[in-house]
Amino acid sequence: MAARTTSRKRMTPEQQTAFEARRDQMQTLAKTIAAMSDADRQALAAQVGTILTCEQRPLSPHNTCMLAHQRPDATVIGGFQQWKRLGRAVRKGEKGSYIWVPLAAGAQESGSEGEEDAATRQRFRLVAVFDVSQTDEDTQEESHGV
């Protein structure tokens, strides 16, 4: 039996260029926010108000600032698959906003103290999220009896 591989469509050169530009823009924004004082981040987050994930968890001040610069009207956000699991579908053509999400720590054996520090350091990844206003109730799910 052949090994099953996950296949992703390859990006066109135009899509790759757009992806790299967006990534650079988000990295610059993240650095700008990281350079802000804690008080400035807290003040901006307070000005925007509480933004919740679709699991009803409030965003960190840093991610609130990230969204404030990209989508100031955001209220409840979630990833594409998160919305799908909740019976909502992101509308075709909607553009995501990006926030930092912690990666799950891999199980590693403890070694020397220096290795332990590197192993326990939290890592983050930029992921696309969509506001609830960018979604609709997923009627396809109902028609398939899911």
Q: Where are the domains of the chain?
A: 14-105+112-143
The mean pLDDT of 118-126, rounded to a whole number, is: 77
Q: Please compute the mean of the pLDDT values over residues 99-128 and round it to a whole number.
A: 70
Compute the average pLDDT of residues 3-18.
78
- Please give the Cα distance from 56 to 86 (Å, whole number): 12
Please state, rounded to an integer, the average pLDDT across all residues of the chain: 84
Taking a C-beta distance cutoff of 8 angstroms, is the pair 48, 69 a contact? no
Q: What is the pLDDT of residues 40-76, one digit of tens each?
A: 998 988 898 999 999 999 999 999 999 999 999 999 9
pLDDT of residue 109: 44
pLDDT at 141 > cutoff 60: no
Query: When comparing pLDDT for 140 and 132, which is higher?
Result: 132
Query: What tokens were used for 39?
Result: 């008080």
* Residue 11 DSSP SS3: coil
Nearest residue to 105 via CA among 121, 116, 117 = 121
Give residue 108's pLDDT.
Answer: 44
